[in-house]
Amino acid sequence: MHKQWRFLSWMVPSAVIGLIFLVLVAAWLRTLSGVEVFLVMYPGTTALPAEAPSGIPGWLGWQHFLNFFFLVLIVRTAWSIRSKKRPDAFWTRSNTGLIRTTAAPRRIGINVWLHLVVDAFWVLNGIILMVLLFATGQWMRIVPTSWNVFPNAVSALLQYASFDWPTTDGWVNYNSLQVLAYFTTVFVAAPIAVFTGLRLSSVWPLDSPRLNRIFSEVPLRWTHNAVLFYFVIFTIVHVTLVMTTGAVRNLNHMFAGNDETSWWGVGVFAASIIVTVLVWMVLKPSVIRWLASTSGNVRR
């Protein structure tokens, strides 16, 4: 059995068992009077700063699509790299273009090349997201601004796990568990993924012993894979909750930039899925070889 499938063969059942255990524990905790008092004191939502913007801007719609699109391709290419199969071809950067180095360019598999290219676009999109978040004040919706976010996050988790889900309006304010999840994803996991990815990429200076000793490859490779796994889990949980807590309205928030119950958000979401699937299908080895050949030499 392939290594990845062996991993899934025990990981998926373990996750299911863990979720069942979490649900049972949450249901038991909800029978305790002290826990109910806690839930009343901390309903699951922390008040936003007075100057926080209201609503979700339209630009977050295309940000949602691009992040989803790039993450899907990142996971696909990462899975290909981890398969340890011999790449269909190898790419070597042309050293006569805009980017020139004194050292000879390294040869990498075209699956690694595609992974790095998609990573670059994902990072660029992330930089744009950061600029827009701070320029519009939207950062206040996903950055904890009070210590109360932590007990409220515990409260929200208990409510989710006991299937008595928090009654919050995501258009106005996310619940505290969402805030911590979004903050972790945007401001913690993403930067870690970028840095560890750079360490593992061909742009890292291997001729610097001190730097390589400080940032050892093995632990950072493990960290990089762990962050990738986090993104997969986050996406699965995020999409599941979007679909089970008022899908039409949630998708309007995410893709149409409105708080209505029209089907525009569903339509845009469906179109984004179709585009992602089509690109996934089109990116066959022959196409990847052709794309890679536009920026370097490709040899099989």
pLDDT digits (tens, 9 = 90+) for 205-229: 777 788 888 888 889 999 998 998 8
Q: What does the DSSP 8-state code read for residue 140?
A: G
Answer for the pair 136, 54: CB distance below 8 angstroms, yes or no: no
Percent of the chain with pLDDT over 70: 93
Query: What's the confidence (pLDDT) of residue 180?
Result: 96
32-299, what's its fold?
Fumarate Reductase Cytochrome B subunit (1.20.950)
Tokens 């801007």, located at residue: 57
Window from 20-24, 31-35, 56-60, 113-117 with minimum mean pLDDT: 20-24
pLDDT digits (tens, 9 = 90+) for 68-103: 999 999 988 888 887 767 888 898 887 776 666 666
Answer for the pair 57, 256: CB distance below 8 angstroms, yes or no: no
Read off the pLDDT of each residue in 27-46 and give the average, rounded to a whole number.
89
State which H helix or E strand residue 272 sits in: helix 264-282
The pLDDT of residue 265 is above 80: yes
CA dihedral 295→297→298→300, nearest 10 degrees, is -170
The pLDDT of residue 168 is above 80: no
* pLDDT confidence bin for 1, thresholds 50/70/90: very low
Q: How many CB atoms lie within 10 A of CB 155?
A: 23
**Side chain identity at 222, as an amino acid letter?**
W
pLDDT digits (tens, 9 = 90+) for 130-149: 999 999 999 999 999 999 99
Answer for the pair 94, 295: CB distance below 8 angstroms, yes or no: yes
Query: What's the confidence (pLDDT) of residue 106?
Result: 80
Please report how the helices 110-136 and 190-200 are oriented relative to each other, as an axis angle in degrees rounded to 10. Answer: 150
pLDDT digits (tens, 9 = 90+) for 234-244: 999 999 989 98
Please give, one letter per residue, the 3-state secondary structure of 196-231.
HHHHHCCCCCCCCHHHHHHCCHHHHHHHHHHHHHHH
CA distance 12 to 57: 36
Three-state DSSP at 105 gives coil
Query: What's the confidence (pLDDT) of residue 213?
Result: 84
Read off the pLDDT of each residue in 119-137 and give the average, rounded to a whole number.
95
- Residue 3: Cβ-neighbour burial (10 angstroms; 0-12, 13-18, 19+): exposed
Domain ranges of the chain: 32-299
Query: What's the confidence (pLDDT) of residue 25?
Result: 85
pLDDT digits (tens, 9 = 90+) for 186-197: 999 999 999 999
- Residue 52: Cβ-neighbour burial (10 angstroms; 0-12, 13-18, 19+): middle
The pLDDT of residue 171 is above 90: no
Q: What does the DSSP 8-state code read for residue 104?
A: P
Whether the full predicted model's pTM is greater than 0.85, yes or no, is yes
CA distance 11 to 166: 28
* pLDDT confidence bin for 175, thresholds 50/70/90: very high
CA distance 229 to 122: 17
